[in-house]
Amino acid sequence: MIKLNVNGKQVKVDVDPDTPLLWVLRDTLQLTGTKFGCGQALCGACTVHLDGQPVRSCSLPVSAAVGQKVTTIEAADAEKVGKAVQDAWRKLDVVQCGYCQSGQMMSAIALLRDNKAPSDADIDTAMSGNLCRCATYVRIRAAIHEAAQTLA
């Protein structure tokens, strides 16, 4: 039995320690906001926070999350930065197909937690590992700036 802290709750899961965290979140805990994209940590669709830092859950064994706080998109709005990002995404109608957006938002939240006034270059660097097949990158950048303004 593996004990985890997911979205502020203590949970126990009966899975192999090498199981990717993504599958534990989606299949065992039914937290389906985190998406499977590539399975190789290249696209960012599976981004969650581990002790506040963005990680790719498709390639992270669940055993690596033991003793750390896992935060998924389902709990992102529980904090001021997460709420600001989600509100900006809605206000600027960022989402097109939506598949990558939970990962995009989790990366944006991590950026804005550390940098309250990011430049375009800062945003590009922080978001470079997140791919969007619909190419909503301009709207994503605008939403990050919008969220930063509301947090100022």
- Whole domain around residue 56: which residue ranges? 2-75
Question: pLDDT tens for residues 116-138?
Answer: 999 999 999 999 999 999 999 99
Residue 7 confidence (pLDDT): 98
Q: What is the CATH number of the domain that holds 145?
A: 1.10.150.120
Residues with pLDDT less than 50, the chain: none
Same domain, 37 and 95: no
Residue 102 confidence (pLDDT): 97
Residue 84 confidence (pLDDT): 98
Q: Which of 50, 75, 100 is the last residue of a domain?
A: 75
Same domain, 64 and 85: no
- Contacts with 24 (C-beta within 8 Å, 6 or more apart), sequence order: 4, 13, 15, 62
CB 81 within 8 A of CB 112: yes
Give the DSSP letter of residue 136: -
Beta bridge pairs of residue 69: 5
Same domain, 29 and 18: yes
Q: Which of 75, 92, 126 is the last residue of a domain?
A: 75
Same domain, 82 and 143: yes
